[in-house]
Amino acid sequence: MTFGEKLFKLRKEKGLSQEALAEKVNTTRQAVSKWENGQGFPETEKILLIGSIFGVSMDYLLKDSVEPKNDKELGYYVNKEMAEGFLNYSRKLAKYLAFGLFFVALAFIPYFTFNQEPSIYLIPTLILATIGIGFIASTSFFEEENYKILKQEPLLFDEKYLQELRNRYGRLKKKYTLFMMLGFGLFVMGLLPIALERKGYISDSFLIPYYPICIGFIAVGTYILTHITNILDAYKLLAKNELYINRFGFKFRKKVRKKFEELS
């Protein structure tokens, strides 16, 4: 079978119209029609994307093999639009999670400051905690279905775009190093006095006036660390995918999914 015949067969088996397939590969219906009629070939990037859509390899699409080979082990092709969408989603998620933990941390200020007076600390503690939990809970409404597969399969990219991602990731790591150190330092500065007071090395009567400052340090440090860590992890998932897929957790989850698919 020719490439066009295979593409036509795969499209029909998937139940896609030429318009629907064209939308998925960012081209026109006329281009898909020409490919199926043997009047041309798509670009390499689009061939990889077609392989991901139908779960077949480039070898099957371009060579004279008759039976398609499931190529999920090779990887899932990610185009630039999908990758940039995932990064934008991750930045938004990082911001909301960071704000949520920031307000949850601030909720301890009235509790520790007025811990002998529930009537005073209860309302502001509940308000701050509710705001924080609201931010965290709101992340569950973000659109993420399209991006789940990025954490489930090895990823394939256009080589030029992959190099661009790696360069951006390297620049971000350098840019955020100082902020990470600042966040960690603030977190420790806020936590250490409280820990020493709990161990009895510092009098609680001495520390009480400084509780708002200590917890403020913890809250700001938590915000910075959460925000930056989530953004860098998203870039690392794409730019350093070979490291991500070699983690024990990734391999374990993949084996579990494979067993589940075999049972179902």
Whether residues 27 and 84 share a domain: the answer is no
Mean pLDDT to the nearest integer, 150-167: 86
Whether residues 119 and 30 share a domain: the answer is no
For the ranges 8-17, 127-136, 165-174, the lowest mean pLDDT is seen at 8-17
Mean pLDDT to the nearest integer, 43-49: 81
**CATH code (residue 46):** 1.10.260.40
pLDDT of 64 > 70? The answer is no
Number of domains in the chain: 2
Mean pLDDT to the nearest integer, 41-58: 79
Q: How many CB atoms lie within 10 A of CB 81?
A: 9
Last residue of a domain, one of 57, 74, 91: 74
Whether residues 142 and 28 share a domain: the answer is no
Please report the sign of the dihedral spanned by the C-alpha atoms of residue 29, residue 35, residue 40, residue 43: positive
**109 token code pair:** 């200020």
pLDDT of 109 > 90? The answer is no
40: pLDDT confidence band, cut at 50, 70 and 90? confident
Last residue of a domain, one of 32, 51, 74: 74
Mean pLDDT to the nearest integer, 136-159: 81
For the ranges 79-83, 150-154, 211-215, 245-249, the lowest mean pLDDT is seen at 245-249
Going by C-alpha positions, the residue among 149, 152, 148, 154 that lies closest to residue 242 is 154
pLDDT of 73 > 60? The answer is no
Whether residues 70 and 88 share a domain: the answer is no
Mean pLDDT of the chain: 84
- Give the range of the structural domain holding residue 86, as residue numbers without chain letter: 79-263
Last residue of a domain, one of 47, 74, 101: 74
Whether residues 108 and 94 share a domain: the answer is yes
Whether residues 49 and 140 share a domain: the answer is no
pLDDT of 159 > 90? The answer is no
Taking each helix axis as running N to C, give the angle between helix 211-239 and helix 159-198, from 0 to 180 degrees, rounded to the nearest 10. Answer: 160
Whether residues 135 and 223 share a domain: the answer is yes
Phi-psi region of 55 (alpha: psi -120 to 50; beta: other; left: phi over 0): left
Which pLDDT score, from 0 to 100, does residue 121 have? 81
Whether residues 138 and 31 share a domain: the answer is no
For the ranges 7-21, 103-117, 199-213, 223-237, the lowest mean pLDDT is seen at 199-213
Mean pLDDT to the nearest integer, 39-60: 79
pLDDT of 132 > 70? The answer is yes
Whether residues 92 and 53 share a domain: the answer is no
- Write down the residue that tokens 């590969």 correspond to: 25
261: pLDDT confidence band, cut at 50, 70 and 90? low
Mean pLDDT to the nearest integer, 85-109: 94
Are the beta carbons of 132 and 101 closer than 8 angstroms? yes
Whether residues 106 and 237 share a domain: the answer is yes
Whether residues 28 and 121 share a domain: the answer is no
- Residue pLDDT, tens place only, 177-230: 999 999 999 999 999 988 888 777 777 677 777 888 999 999 999 999 999 999
Mean pLDDT to the nearest integer, 122-136: 93
pLDDT of 232 > 50? The answer is yes
> Residue 189 forms beta bridges with which residues?
none
Going by C-alpha positions, the residue among 245, 56, 262 that lies closest to residue 152 is 245
Whether residues 102 and 14 share a domain: the answer is no
- Tell if the pTM clears 0.85, that is, is over it: no
Which pLDDT score, from 0 to 100, does residue 67 have? 54
Taking each helix axis as running N to C, give the angle between helix 3-14 and helix 44-54, from 0 to 180 degrees, rounded to the nearest 10. Answer: 40
Buried b (16+ CB within 10 A) or exposed e, 211-243: beebbbbbbbbbbbbbbbbbbbebbbbbbebee
Mean pLDDT to the nearest integer, 94-107: 95
Are the beta carbons of 50 and 33 closer than 8 angstroms? no
